[in-house]
Amino acid sequence: MLELEQILERLCGLGAPSGFERPAALAAKELLEPLMDEVRLDRLGNVIGVRRCGRPGAKKLLLDAHLDEVGMTVTGVQDGFLRFQARGVDTRMLPDREVTVLTDPPMLGVVACLPPHVLTAEDREKAPEVKDLFVDVGLSQEEAERRIPIGTPMVYRADFTRLGERQLCGKALDDRACFAALLRAAELLRERELDVDLYVMGSVCEETGGAGAAVGVQAVEPDFCVAVDVTHGRTPDSPKNETFVMGGGPVVGIGPNMARWMVRRLLDRAEARGIAVQKEVMEGSTGTNGWEMQICNEGIATAVLSVPLKYMHTPVEVLEARDVEDCAQLLAAFAQDLGKEGTAHA
């Protein structure tokens, strides 16, 4: 059995922001290869594996989870401190935060901040803007310019750890935890007969618009897609109608981005197997790769399945290990005998 914590510690420990996913992609490829007939990296860097069912003309099911993480990009050096732009990071988390500058070899940086003693009362109440922040790497201007070119990516530096008995904490759980769920689903299906060709994709560039998933879908030409991503976990200060219970099971998306018969199939399979699920109404963009995949080629039947996650886009993302396992169990159940029902809705 694949060990979830070991997989996540490996994947989340890699620095792989959007556009720089190769370290995570190579690790994902290695983990996926024992479970598939064939695994490749495409031109954009997506990891795509296939397990063929052996039936002529079989339909294709694609399961997707993205491998990129939020991050920052160096835009210049000022007095030895790095200026940067941010992609998806919560700027409230940046002051005095440790970051990894993805040079070769990587180096440590800290986001500079003014101590509260010198801040005005007004400034203490405001979230900082990226334009006012610097990364301190402990170098002179000349040395920083030589060692850290403009365009160098940076990511949060964070340890992967347990939080209590059931929860896991670290960076990049969005969305590498869901790729781990895909690995587990493929493992569950390894000895089971399928009537569809199963594709598993670790996609790139989701945090910058979903280009990786769109390109992957156009190449694979699947009949059905499931975008597997995270959604917002519940905390005491969060709105109850927009967040989901940690440990309450995976979350099935419902809305115009999702094929109704696929939603029903997910819910029916969950009920039949005693898997707890939650429902999320997504009336507009789902904020996932499902939004892009649905309109690829001539249109793809698409579903969105999510894992509740607290503190999204921070270095301390938290999820419940059981939700990842239940997500994998539901995906495996969904895939079995899909060819029969999917043909009826083609």
Per the listing, tokens 């169990």 go with: 329
Residue 161 DSSP class: E
Active site residue 280: no
The region that residue 212 occupies, defined by phi over 0 for left and psi between -120 and 50 for alpha, beta otherwise, is alpha
Of 126, 129, 27, 23, which is closest to residue 83 (Cα–Cα)?
A: 129
Residue 160: what residue type?
F
Active-site residue (options: 206, 207, 280, 317): 206
Q: Give the span between the Cα atoms of 206 and 213, in whole angstroms.
A: 7
- Two tokens, residue 160: 């992967």
Q: Give the span between the Cα atoms of 101 and 226, in whole angstroms.
A: 34
Contact 14, 27 (CB under 8 A): yes
Q: At what angle do helices 4-12 and 173-188 cross, to 10 degrees?
A: 140
Angle at 81 between CA 16 and CA 160, to 5 degrees: 35
Contact 161, 321 (CB under 8 A): no
- Two tokens, residue 60: 């294709």
Contact 320, 166 (CB under 8 A): yes
Residue 262 DSSP class: H
Contact 301, 342 (CB under 8 A): yes
- Where are the alpha helices (H) located in the chain, listed in sequence order? 4-12, 22-32, 121-124, 141-147, 173-188, 211-220, 260-273, 290-293, 321-335, 338-344
Residue 4 DSSP class: H
Could you give the residue numbers annotated as active site?
206
